[in-house]
Amino acid sequence: MGLEQFKNRNVGTQNYTKLDLGETPANGFEQFKQVAKRTFKGELFVGLWVTLREMINALFKGQMHTVKYPFEKMPISPRYRAIHDMLRLLESGHYRCIGCGLCEKICISNCITMDTRYDENQRKEVTEYTINFGRCIFCGYCAEVCPELAIVHGPRYETASEQRASFSLFEDMLTPIDQLNLQQEYDGFGAVSPNADANIKKTPLAY
Amino acid sequence: METTLAGHAMETLPHVTWLGVLIKAIIILAVISAIAGFGTFIERKVLAFMQRRLGPMHVGPYGLLQLAADGIKLFTKEDIIPQNANKFIFMIAPIITAATAFIALAAVPVFPDFTIPSWIPLLGGTFVPSIAADLNIGILFVLGMMAAGLYGPLLAGMSQANKWGIIGAARTAVQFLSYEVVTGLSILAPIMLVGSLSFVDFNDYQSGGIGSWLIWQQPVAFVLFLIAGFAETNRTPFDLLEHEAEVVSGYATEYSGMRWGMFFIGEYANMITVSIIAAVVFLGGYSVEGIGWLTIILKVAFFFFLMLWVRASWPHIRPDQLMWLCWKVLMPIAVINIVITGIVMMV
């Protein structure tokens, strides 16, 4: 297919649907008729009614659109990608992060820095974990790649702060241990789908 | 008949002293500027409601003290005079607008007349009239004053050495030339019916209830006067002078602080004046007994609301459309209306 059809700028030959714009008045009497028709058509009063209807809707039917922002907030989508949260295991209260480093690897703006070591039980322990929010583009890849749903995007979109370090340490993002019962499961990128149980299949062992 | 009426008036109405007129003038000045300021608040609220917004909400309950905040801002803002402006004319232009708006109100019946109670020292017993200056040519005076008020935008736009201002001034002249004919001709037919230019005579002519209102006899004149009134007060279908989308702020581009504020006090005072004229001339005005003073407030409030309502609803028109409308449509209709009124009166 070539570009010929796009190069055809001849409007008249194509298959357009013309709007019904009426006849252009040809002489003085038709112009007068048009003016008289438009004058008495009442379109202006339709306009008046539209604004009055909106005023009535807003004042008496609770359809005011204003959200008084600092005092009221709109609900945000669970898939909204704001400042990251680090979740804990509900059973033990231990953080979910297993120190695999996938988020650090996938981060396209190289803003995640983590360091791990083996603790006395030979488990991976996160010794250092920071996200440089000056670089983070909130793409969501870290949450998507995380195998443990440990790093997720939280709902905290008001990110004004005196220091940008205020958000970026592991402890700042981790669910406080005393608010573990309030921890919300994540519905966004990489989360388990609602019908995950139905999708489970036996692992084919007969390779 | 006339002599008895005059004699009746002489007996019942107390003598109007200069003190009463002075008090009346101060009351008009204070109340109308307060209402004009309050009008900006009402306008912002009504426009907001019609767009399903809340409008000013944070200063005081429901944003009522927004007016005070705006007033403080206007009064304390730097008064900038552009370098190449004609300083004297630039400085007096807003005063012309505000002053003519209030001078026009001198001949308009605002609030019922009353006598100050005699226990108040100094002023006790002073009769305060309903009209500061009860001219027998009240309508002519008010329309003339409001027309003179257009010198404000005209001189302001020409003196400020700003191209937007020049365009605004040119549009002022265009608008002035267009609507002023319609204003005069539209109100001429009711004047012919009543046979007087005094607001009090208009009010008395329609004192027989809703059926005697002049709007039923002169519906065409009422509509024409309303349209011309919108043009006279620079309200939205005809706000060519300062339409932001086209000429930044038109004649008010270079103004700041209180001088800018004076233009708007003048504009809102003019809105009130036009509302009062429409209410008195076409909608029966006030009646003295009972709660008659409330009816004129309601009528004026309705016209004020109508101006805000129209601003929220309708787009504004081009200068050439305004001239076309005024000269080719409204003026012939007004002339035909006068001729028909005259024929009906003679037959």
Q: Do B39 and B304 contact (CB within 8 A), yes or no? A: yes
Q: How far apart are CA B137 and CA B297, in angstroms?
A: 23
CB contact under 8 A, B51 and A54: yes
Q: Do B67 and B37 contact (CB within 8 A), yes or no? A: yes
pLDDT, mean of residues B144-153 = 86
Domain limits of chain A? 28-60, 84-191
Percent of chain B with pLDDT over 90: 3
Give me chain B's average pLDDT, please: 82
Which CATH number does A84-191 carry? 3.30.70.3270
Look up the domain containing B295 and give its range.
81-110+135-346
CB contact under 8 A, B51 and A63: no
Q: How far apart are CA B332 and CA B338, in angstroms?
A: 10
Kindly provide the b/e burial profile for residues A6-39, where b requires at least 16 CB atoms within 10 angstroms of the residue's own CB.
Answer: eeeeeeeeeeeeeeeeeeeeeeeeeeeeeeeeee
Residue from A40, A46, A54, A55 to probe the interface with B (highest B Cβ count within 10 Å): A55
CA distance A156 to chain B (A): 25
Q: Residue B110: helix, strand or coil by DSSP?
A: coil
B-chain residues within 8 Å CB-CB of A39?
Answer: 329
pLDDT, mean of residues B150-171 = 87
With a cut of 50, say whether residue A127 has pLDDT above it. yes
Within-domain flag for B122: no
pLDDT, mean of residues B220-232 = 88
Interface contact B321, partner A, CB < 8 A? no
pLDDT at A36: 84
pLDDT at A108: 93
More confident residue, A7 or B88: B88
pLDDT category, B5, cuts 50, 70, 90?
A: very low
Is B117 exposed, middle or buried (CB count within 10 Å of its CB: 0-12, 13-18, 19+)? exposed
Token pair recorded at residue B94: 């807003």
Within-domain flag for B231: yes
Q: What is the DSSP letter of A24?
A: P
Interface contact B309, partner A, CB < 8 A? yes
Q: How far apart are CA A194 and CA B305, in angstroms?
A: 54
pLDDT at B3: 41
Domain count along chain B: 1
With a cut of 80, say whether residue A39 has pLDDT above it. no
Q: What is the pLDDT of residues B98-122, one digit of tens each?
A: 888 888 888 877 766 667 777 777 6
Is B244 exposed, middle or buried (CB count within 10 Å of its CB: 0-12, 13-18, 19+)? exposed
CB contact under 8 A, A66 and B53: yes
Comparing CB atoms, the residue among A35, A44, A55 nearest residue B50 is A55
**Single-letter residue type at A38:** R
Comparing CB atoms, the residue among A51, A59, A66 nearest residue B309 is A51
pLDDT at B335: 93
With a cut of 80, say whether residue A197 has pLDDT above it. yes
**Pick from A147-151, B5-9, B172-176, B324-328: least confident:** B5-9
Dump strand ranges (E) for chain B.
114-115, 127-128
**Single-letter residue type at B120:** I
Q: Residue A128: CB partners within 8 Å, gap ≥ 6? A: A113, A114, A115, A170
Within-domain flag for B106: yes
Q: What is the pLDDT of residues A73-115, one digit of tens each?
A: 888 887 888 888 888 888 888 888 888 999 999 999 998 989 9
What is the C-alpha end-to-end distance of chain B, expressed in Å?
A: 24
Q: What is the pLDDT of residues B27-51, one digit of tens each?
A: 888 888 888 878 888 888 999 999 8
Q: What is the DSSP letter of A174?
A: B
pLDDT at B9: 46
Token pair recorded at residue B315: 């787009």
CB contact under 8 A, A64 and B52: yes
Q: What is the DSSP letter of A123?
A: -
pLDDT at B2: 41
Within-domain flag for B217: yes
**Closest to B219 (Cα-Cα) out of B340, B82, B75:** B340
B-chain residues within 8 Å CB-CB of A64?
Answer: 52-54
A contact residues 36-75, partner B, Cβ 8 Å cutoff: 39, 44, 47-48, 50-52, 54-55, 57-59, 63-66, 68
**Best-predicted range by mean pLDDT (A190-199, B170-179, B337-346):** B337-346
**Single-letter residue type at A160:** A
Minimal-distance CA residue of chain A relative to B311:
A48
Within-domain flag for B37: no
With a cut of 60, say whether residue B12 has pLDDT above it. no
pLDDT, mean of residues B311-328 = 86
With a cut of 50, say whether residue B6 has pLDDT above it. no
pLDDT at B11: 45
**Single-letter residue type at A127:** T
Q: Do B315 and A48 contact (CB within 8 A), yes or no? A: no
B-chain residues within 8 Å CB-CB of A47?
Answer: 313-314
Comparing CB atoms, the residue among A51, A58, A68 nearest residue B313 is A51
pLDDT, mean of residues B74-96 = 87
Within-domain flag for B117: no
Residue from A32, A38, A45, A51 to probe the interface with B (highest B Cβ count within 10 Å): A51
